[in-house]
Amino acid sequence: MMNILGIETSCDETAASIVTENRKILSNVVKSQNEHHAPYGGVVPEIAARAHLVIVEAVVRQAIKEAKLDFSDLDGVAATCGPGLIGGVIVGSMLGKAISAARKIPFVAANHLEGHALTARLTHNIQFPYLVLLLSGGHSQFIIVEEVGEYQIIGNTIDDALGEAFDKVAKMLGIGFPGGPAVEKMASFGSPGRFNLPRPLRGRENSDFSFSGLKTSVRNKIEQSKNGTFSEKDIQDLCSDFQYAVSDVIKDRVLNALNIFSKKYPNCEKLVLCGGVASNQMIRTTLEQSVQTLGVNLVAPPINLCTDNGAMIAWVGVERLKLGLSNTLDFKPRPRWSLEEL
């Protein structure tokens, strides 16, 4: 029974986890850097890298301790080697390589996006092939998952990722960081329909995303307000309309993506939703209701496994090592690394 250590440091969470090959998560430690980045309204790469460097070893030791294991009990180590903020990626990947070399155990250079794409196999034992909607701070894309290492991207963002748009809207409104939870909280008190916001690309034949124009429209609404200031009620209503616009766009894009997927693999029964933005309850509910009308079930991992975490990286290690796939210690971390390159 393999015990695999996963290390994740691609953005602003320092995370480590131990996962077994029979899908048991023995530990899952995540340390946020929100307090470091909140004053800037977004993630600062240099600050993130330094914060990872300070705490990553302690996070790994805590994960091993909570799993009631020792380093000698590890059968492999997987570390995110991209895509992501390169400073943080280097920190985590170097520690993973060091553990691999010291313990003489296999090393897996994990693709961060593959971690998200395979999480449903860890949590729901979903079988290939399936369609994934990945919504995160850096990515918004539809992925056909055919096998481990076999991916086809059939939709992508042509500008901002959705998580980035949430962060920028929250920053413009001055309601805090990270933007996703801040906007969702404000929207829960708001009334939709007051602000006329666009639905970018809705009705187009493809399954790409665009959120830059929606974000710009929010900024224009703020600037058009009296004296350039918004009351709390204004902010709540605008956040509500922003969420409704996002949900409408996603619903439209999903229907197109399911149609594309079904042409290659008829009788699609499941859509997997993952990534940090997948924790938004309105988006989850809207998607669940819209795909059910097509006889498709929405599969969404628990919220703590949708945001960045070490368990998904450890599971990449499990999947790849079971196939006899590992990497040499001279594998170079990279800031950009498309799933299709795997």
Q: Give every strand in the sheet of 150-156, ordered side by side.
A: 150-156, 140-147, 130-135, 270-274, 297-299
Same fold? 3-118+305-341, 128-300: yes
How do the domains of the chain map onto residue ranges?
A: 3-118+305-341, 128-300
Residue-level pLDDT at 229: 73
User: Which two structure tokens, joined as six digits, stand for 11?
Assistant: 């953005």
Average pLDDT of 288-292? 91
CATH (residue range 3-118+305-341)? 3.30.420.40
Crossing angle (nearest 10°) for helices 86-103 and 45-66: 30
Gap between the terminal Cα atoms of the chain: 26
pLDDT classification of 226: cutoffs 50, 70, 90: low
> What is the dihedral sign for C-alpha 54, 338, 273, 66?
negative
Residue 227 has pLDDT above 70, yes or no: no
Average pLDDT of 265-272? 89
Q: Please, which residues bridge with residue 153 across strands? A: 143
> What is the dihedral sign for C-alpha 273, 276, 281, 287?
negative
Structural element, H or E, at residue 317: helix 310-322
Q: What are phi and psi of 113, to 5 degrees?
A: -70, -35
Tell me the per-residue pLDDT of 101-155, one tens digit each, with 9 for 90 and over.
999 999 999 999 999 999 999 999 999 999 999 999 889 999 999 999 999 999 9
Secondary-structure class of domain 128-300 per CATH = alpha beta
240, amino acid identity: S
Please give the Cα distance from 291 to 257 (Å, whole number).
11
pLDDT classification of 269: cutoffs 50, 70, 90: confident
Q: What pTM does this model have?
A: 0.95
Tell me the per-residue pLDDT of 301-322, one tens digit each, with 9 for 90 and over.
999 999 999 999 999 999 999 9
Residue 228 has pLDDT above 80, yes or no: no
User: Which two structure tokens, joined as six digits, stand for 251?
Assistant: 């619903």
Nearest to 128 by CA among 155, 149, 153: 149
Tell me the per-residue pLDDT of 233-245, one tens digit each, with 9 for 90 and over.
999 999 999 999 9
Which one is predicted more confidently, 294 or 323? Answer: 323
Average pLDDT, the chain: 95
Average pLDDT of 55-67? 98
